[in-house]
Amino acid sequence: MYQRLVCAWVLASGRIPRSLSFGTFPPVLRLAVLVLVGSLTASLGHAQTPSSDEGRLIESIDVVLANPSADAAANDRVIDLIRRNIGLFPGATFNRAELEIAIARASRQAPVASAELEVGSGRSGGVALTINATLSDRILRADRGYLVSGDTKDLPILYDSEGTIIVAKLETLSMLYGNVDAWYGRPDLFLDGNPLASGDTAGSGASGWGEGFIHTGLYGLTPLSDDIYAYGGLSGIVSGSAGTELFTDESRAYFGVEDAYVGLVGGETYDSGDRLVWNASVGRKRYAIADSMIIGNSASNGDERAALQSNPRWAADMLVLGQLRYNNSLIELFYLDPDELPVVDSRTRMVGLNVETPVGAGFKLGGSYIRVLESDYSYFAQATPDPATATLSRDGLEVFNGRIRWDQPNGDFFGNVEFALQRNENFDMHATALAAEVGYQFSELAWQPVVSYRYAQFSGDDPDTARFERWDPLLSGGNGEQWVQGINHFKVFQDSNLVAHRLQLRLRPSPMVELVPQFWIFTADSATNLGGNPALSFLGSTELGYEANLTAKWFISPKVMLQGHIAATFPGDAVKEAISGDADTWWSAMAFLRVAF
C-alpha cells in the first residue's frame, strides 16, 4: 500500500524541478547568480518555452488590414472572408500549427496578398490573436512555400498549391532554473520513498540546473472535395537536462514522438453568414477542456524524458475527438488515453462530452461529463472499516462540470465560475471543486493594469464520514496562470484537499513587456491528506503556507520571447509541524528564451 501511496503522490505532484551546487556563496548571492546566468544563457541559445501559448484559451481574434482600401464596406468583406476561412472563434484552444494552416488558406483568397499571425496575452490569462493581412489586386495567387520558391520569407509554409498546404514547426527552448532551500530545506522528508528521486536532490542551500528541448514536425491539409479537407500532423521532441534537479542529479537526453494524428474537417457557410464546421481526428494529440481545471495536461514530463520544468510534452497517447461547431457554439465527444510516465503510469482511460455556447450579454456557458473507463490509480480512505479495502479505485469515476464566463460588453469587468462534482459507481464518493474569479482592467491607466482575485476549493476527505470526499485532480494543470497553483507550492501540494486564494496583477509597461505578480494563501480543506505528499498525510494545522511570485515576459518579436520568474514560498504551521522544527523559506528563480517558427 505504501508504494501505491507514493505513486499517488508522484502523480499528484505533477512537474517538479531539479538542481547545481554553488559552494560557499551566501544564499541570496547564489540565487542572484542563478537568475543572471539563466538570463545570459537563455539569451545566447535559441529556445522555446514549454508551450506557454499552446493550449491556452483564445480570448480574442482580430483581423487587421495593413493597407486598407478607401472602400470601408470592401474592407469589411475581406475581413469576414478571412474569418470564414479561418473558422476559429474565441473560447477555442490555441494550436499554432493548425492556425498557421488556416491562415495560409485564408491568404490564398484573391483579395489577400499575405497574412501573418501575432500572438499576445489576453487580460485574463488566455491569448489574444491578431491576423495582419495585406490586400492584393491579384485575382489568382501563384504557388508558394519554401520548397517552391526557396525564399525563407515563406516559412513556416513549405508548400501551398491548389488547396494543399504543408507547414513546418520548429520550437526550441533553453532554460536555467535555481532554488534556495528547496523542499523547505528538507528533501529527506518530502521526497522519502518517491520512485522518481535518485542521487542528489535540491534541498538546503542553493542549487540549479539547465534543460532544454527542440520540437519539430510537419503539419498539412489537403482538399478531398469542395467542403471536406483531410489534415494531419507528425512531430518529435528531443529534450535534455543536466545538473541537480529536485528529483535527481542524473543528466539525461530523450527523443520521443509528440504529435501523430490524422483528421477530417468540413463545413458550410450559409448565405446568412452562419457557419457550421465539423471536425474528427484520431491519434497522438493534445486535449484540454476550458481553462484546464479538470483536463489540461494530457502528457507527463521529467524522469527519463527530462525537461521536467519546461514541460514540452502535451500530446496524449491516444485522442479520438469529434467536434461540431455552429458559430460560437461547440459540442465535442472524446476518448482520451494520457501519455503518463512509465514508472507511475496509472493506465487511466476516459471518455467525455463537452459543450460550450454563448448566451448573450457577454455570458458564455459550458459543461462537461467525463467517465473513467479503466484505471490502476487508487485513493486512500481512512474511514474505510475494512483495511483490505482501504484503497479505492479510480475505475468508475464520473465527473460533472458546469461553468460560466462573463466579459462585460464594451467594458473592463470580467469574471468566471466553475463547479464540478465527482462520484464513483463502485463506492460512495462525493467530491467537489469550486473556482470563482472576478477582475477588472484599468484600460485608461498607464501600463493598463488588470487586477483579479480567484478563490478555489478542492474538497478533502472527512474521516468521520463513510463516504469518500477527496477531489481527484485528474489531468488538471496548464501553466502558472491557470491551475499550477503556486510556482513552488504546487510541487508539494497538488489541487486536492486545497483552498487557494490568488490575487493577481497583470501589467503592460510596453506592448512588448508584461509583468504578472501573484500573491497566494493556501490552506487545507481537511486535516486528513492521505493520497498527497506522504510527509503531509495527517496535518496538525490547515495552514499550508503563502507564496509571492513575479513573472516577467518580453515579447522580443512575434516568434521570440524571453521569460523569467522569481518566487518565495513561506511554510505554514502544517508544514512546520510535519518537519518538527523550523522550515526554511523556499526561493526559486528561472529564465528561458523561446523561439517558435
> 67 lies in a domain?
no
Q: What is the pLDDT of residues 387-421, one digit of tens each?
A: 445 689 999 999 999 999 999 988 899 999 999 99
Taking residues 235-263, report their average pLDDT: 96
> 79 lies in a domain?
no
Q: Where are the beta strands (DSSP E) in 108-227?
A: 112-121, 127-135, 157-161, 164-180, 206-223
Q: What is the pLDDT of residues 517-567, one digit of tens each?
A: 999 999 999 999 999 999 999 999 999 999 999 999 999 998 899 999 999
DSSP one-letter string for 570-583:
EE-HHHHHHHTS--
392: its cell numbers: 479505492
Beta bridge partners of 551: 516, 565
Q: What is the pLDDT of residues 306-338, one digit of tens each?
A: 999 999 999 999 999 999 999 889 999 999 999
CA dihedral 368, 371, 375, 379 (to 10 degrees): 80
How does residue 187 score in pLDDT terms, banded at 50, 70 and 90? very high
How does residue 71 score in pLDDT terms, banded at 50, 70 and 90? low
pLDDT of residue 19: 35
pLDDT of residue 41: 31
Q: What is the pLDDT of residues 372-394, one digit of tens each?
A: 999 999 998 765 545 445 689 99
**Among the ranges given (2-6, 124-128, 233-237), the one the predictor scored with the smallest mean pLDDT:** 2-6
Question: Can you give the residue range of the structural domain that contains 439?
Answer: 2-55+166-596
Is the peptide bond between 449 and the residue preceding it cis, with omega within 30 degrees of 0? no
How many domains, the chain?
1
> 69 lies in a domain?
no
Judge contact between 484 and 478, C-beta under 8 A: yes
The CATH number given to whatever domain includes residue 300 is: 2.40.160.100
How does residue 275 score in pLDDT terms, banded at 50, 70 and 90? confident
Query: Coil, strand or helix: which one is 558?
Result: coil
pLDDT of residue 38: 34
> 411 lies in a domain?
yes
> 123 lies in a domain?
no
> 290 lies in a domain?
yes
pLDDT of residue 55: 67
**Amino acid at site 218:** L
How does residue 436 score in pLDDT terms, banded at 50, 70 and 90? very high
**Residue found under cell 462573463:** 406
**Amino acid at site 357:** T
| Winning range, highest mean pLDDT, from 96-100, 109-113, 478-482, 518-522 | 518-522
Could you tell me which residues come within 8 angstroms of residue 354 by beta carbon, excluding any fewer than 6 positions away? 289, 290, 330, 331, 332, 334, 366, 367, 368
pLDDT of residue 16: 34
> 158 lies in a domain?
no
> 205 lies in a domain?
yes
Assessment of whether the complete model's pTM goes beyond 0.85: no
DSSP one-letter string for 419-449:
EEEEEETTEEEEEEEEEEEEEEE-TTSTT--
How does residue 46 score in pLDDT terms, banded at 50, 70 and 90? very low
pLDDT over threshold 80, residue 579: yes
